[in-house]
Amino acid sequence: MYFDTSKFEDYGVLSDLDEIKEGARVEINEEKKNPRDFALWKFSPKGDPAERSGQGKRQMEWKSPWGLGFPGWHIECSAMSMKYLGETFDIHAGGVDLKQTHHPNEIAQAEAATGKKFVNYWVHSAFILIQGERMSKSLGNNYRLYDLEKSGYHPITLRYLYLQAHYRKEMNFTFPSLDAAENALKKLLQDIALWDEPAGSLPAFEEKFLAAINDDLNMPQALAIVWEMVKSDNPTGAKAKSLFKMDQVLGLGLMEKREIVKKDQGIVPEHIKEMVMEREELRKNKRYNLADQLRNKIEKLGYVIEDSGKGPKARKV
């Protein structure tokens, strides 16, 4: 049972109709009124289900008002999306290869069924190349995240690498580029580990970052703005506050990783060092009550003071 695409006025709105091809699982046959029609329901052949499958297992099939069978392959996506996201939802993503056939078919069947707009924004991503070639099992150049972790790469490094390319442009994955992403992320974490605690903000940088995000998810530009802010002469507390706000979009977990780097490398922020020296001055002036109050404040911030013959030092708890 086919969807008559000639009766859906906006069919092919995402694509060039001349480029719309038959779906990968739909064969051209005389039952269609035009080549772009696609199957909504496929009828099961007569006979025992086990014999029909040829493998001794029942094939997928359900009873319907039209007879025993199963839905066309485009149906599953519309059914799942509308069940969990509603009849109209904001963003539908997918590879650029789905733009010509699969997604136009999703729109047609969903909007014909509900009479409502199906999706507000379509996000079609370009392919990822591996060392300049398309991913292929025959070439053995398809990597799983597990493979990269076994080689010592953190998954966040891959995320950082992806942020450097716009989703509509092909990205060429190479291990040197992954190494470069790893080094850039390490440099960022080492820089921010020396910063003061978040305080204030930098609205101008936040606005530029938001503008880049709203420009068709221009993540490379957004990342460039992050580095512009990191290298600026603004107060480190304000940079930290804005950076962690930006990271709600980037998803790099910078706040948590910063604390790990500080603890692993024994890094003490400047404002903590200043408080330690202030406490020492209070002790020298025999203002022990105020010195103890300042020590308690430092401890509440997650640092302990160790007094020695060379003077006091703070370390992360």
* Tens-place pLDDT, residues 258-307: 888 877 766 677 788 888 889 888 888 888 888 888 888 888 888 888 87
First to last CA, the chain: 68
The pLDDT assigned to 21 comes to 53
Task: Tell me the three state secondary structure of residue 22.
Answer: coil
Give the H/E segment covering residue 303. Answer: strand 303-306
The pLDDT assigned to 288 comes to 87
The pLDDT assigned to 27 comes to 53
CA distance 280 to 145: 51
The pLDDT assigned to 23 comes to 44
Cβ atoms 173, 247 nearer than 8 A: no
Q: How many CB atoms lie within 10 A of CB 311?
A: 10
Q: Which of 4, 16, 10, 1 is nearest to 111 (CA)?
A: 10
Cβ atoms 112, 8 nearer than 8 A: yes
Give the H/E segment covering residue 93. Answer: strand 89-95
The pLDDT assigned to 131 comes to 83
* Tens-place pLDDT, residues 74-103: 998 999 999 999 999 999 999 998 998 999
Q: State which residues of the chain have pLDDT below 70.
A: 16-29, 46-59, 265-267
CATH architecture of 2-125: 3-Layer(aba) Sandwich (3.40)
Q: Which residues contact 82 (CB under 8 A, 6 or more apart)?
A: 110, 114
CATH architecture of 130-264: Up-down Bundle (1.20)
The pLDDT assigned to 126 comes to 92
Q: Which residues contact 309 (CB under 8 A, 6 or more apart)?
A: none
All structural domains of the chain with their residue ranges:
2-125, 130-264, 270-316
CA distance 79 to 86: 10
Go through the chain and tell me how many residues it has: 317
The pLDDT assigned to 217 comes to 94
Q: What is the maximal distance between C-alpha atoms in the chain? A: 99
